[in-house]
Amino acid sequence: MKKGFIFDLDGVIVDTAKYHYLAWKNLANELGFEFTKEQNELFKGVSRKRCLEILLEIGKVEATQEQFDTWMIEKNVDYLKYIENMDASEILPDVPKILDYLKDRKHPIALGSASKNAQPILEKVGLLSYFDAIVDGNNVTKAKPDPEVFLLAAEQLGVNSQDCVVFEDAVAGVQAANSAKMISIGIGDDKVLSEAAYNFNDFTEIETSFIQDLINKN
């Protein structure tokens, strides 16, 4: 029985969170208030629309729909400038080791991310060919912790949801994986990601023997 493996993007495969933060910070400054790295933690695993809603709540800024839509576009254009020069050096340590192990054993791999820029980022860092399916903010209507993104990824991989493993760095993502009855692996602080079935600080801590044990599980 083949297992499906689903990876979040930001904070799991690459660290684009720093670029999102800079783009949101620039917008906040333009609107007349400060946006801190601590506040940016609220944005983990959250859609762009919801991020802007939170940002405006922080700054106590009211907006018309037209202003809201304009700021959404403005933030994304700013973010795209930051990621324009991304390359393989941005891949987080030992992620390719796990991707190679899965690919060599012909286990289907999907991306499950809220990002609307997932595909161009994977192209820039040279990892696009590893993925059999990409489900991102362009394909889903419900944000994590709703399991839609992971259920759709499992469907595209042709694998039952209970036979899927999800790598996530956000609480909402872990909750989404658990809701989908998938095996959740938290990448990051185990105190924050306490609902995950397994926790690792990063992929350098994940041995291929651990991956093989997951594959062997019924």
Dist CA 4 CA 166 (whole Å): 9
Alpha helices per DSSP H over the chain? 17-30, 37-40, 48-59, 65-83, 95-104, 118-125, 148-157, 171-179, 208-216
Q: Cis peptide before 96, with omega less than 30 degrees from 0?
A: no
Active-site residue, selected from the candidate residues 8, 132, 136, 163: 8
Cα-based torsion angle of the residue sequence 14, 19, 20, 24 in order, rounded to the nearest 10 degrees? 170
Concerning whether 10 is annotated as a catalytic residue, the answer is yes
Active-site residue, selected from the candidate residues 10, 78, 136, 169: 10
Contact 167, 10 (CB under 8 A): no
Radius of gyration of the chain (CA): 17
The residue written with tokens 């192209």 in the block is 123
Contact 112, 10 (CB under 8 A): no
Dist CA 22 CA 25 (whole Å): 5
Q: Which residues are catalytic?
A: 8, 10
